[in-house]
Structure 1
Amino acid sequence: MNSVRPRMTHLFEQLGLDSSEEAIVKFIETHQLDANMFTVQADFWTDAQRQFLEEKIKSDGEWAIVVDQLNEALHEDSVK
């Protein structure tokens, strides 16, 4: 059994993205979303990435927490 808790770096690895701290910060800064857009609706995801994110959100497990953290980070600059 894998007891490592998922982190943002693990999420980026699973998405096939650069998981270095610098790359994660840059991705978040350059992919900010409008307040009314769900993260999985963003056009920068591939179908496989979108499916992975949707599955993890629905799982409501530890991965869902990390995906939610990404969601919050991608909406930091959004205006409601």
Structure 2
Amino acid sequence: MDSPTHDLKGLFDQLGLDSSPTAIDAFIEQHSPLPDDVRMIDADFWTPQQAAFLKEELREDADWARVVDELNLRLHQRR
């Protein structure tokens, strides 16, 4: 059985954030670049519930882990 395919729009929906392409880009622009020593899941802009979801998905290497990694990379990129 194939795993579900998730994307950034779906992740933002899951986190209760605006998931329009413009809003996703604005979120990343507003919060990046994260310092190299700050893990995305520990960033102070997440609510406790959002942070818990992100941590759980990564710890369990769950369906959302690939998309969480993608967001992590985008938030750490220097522009």
> Fold match, TM over 0.5?
yes
Count of equivalent residues = 77
C-alpha RMSD of matched pairs (Å): 1.7
Counterpart in the other structure of 1:57: 58
1:77 Cα deviation from its structure 2 partner: 1.6
Q: State the secondary structure of the residue aligned to 2:64.
A: helix
1:61 Cα deviation from its structure 2 partner: 3.1
1:46 Cα deviation from its structure 2 partner: 0.3
TM-score for both structures, normalised by structure 1 = 0.88
1:43 equivalent to 2:44? Answer yes
Question: Could you list the per-position Cα deviations for residues 43-67 of structure 1 after superposition, in whole angstroms to 9, with x for gaps in the alignment?
Answer: 0000000000001111213310000
Please give the alpha-carbon distance, in whole angstroms, between the structure 2 residues aligned to 1:4 and 1:54: 19
TM-score for both structures, normalised by structure 2 = 0.89
Q: State the secondary structure of the residue aligned to 2:45.
A: coil
Please give the alpha-carbon distance, in whole angstroms, between the structure 2 residues aligned to 1:21 and 1:27: 10
Sequence identity percentage: 47
Counterpart in the other structure of 1:9: 9
Please give the alpha-carbon distance, in whole angstroms, between the structure 1 residues aligned to 2:12 and 2:31: 14
1:73 Cα deviation from its structure 2 partner: 0.3
**Where in structure 2 are there 5+ consecutive unaligned residues?**
none
**Where in structure 1 are there 5+ consecutive unaligned residues?**
none
Please give the alpha-carbon distance, in whole angstroms, between the structure 2 residues aligned to 1:72 and 1:35: 11
1:4 Cα deviation from its structure 2 partner: 4.3
For 1:67, give the aligned amino acid.
Answer: V
Q: State the secondary structure of the residue aligned to 2:44.
A: coil
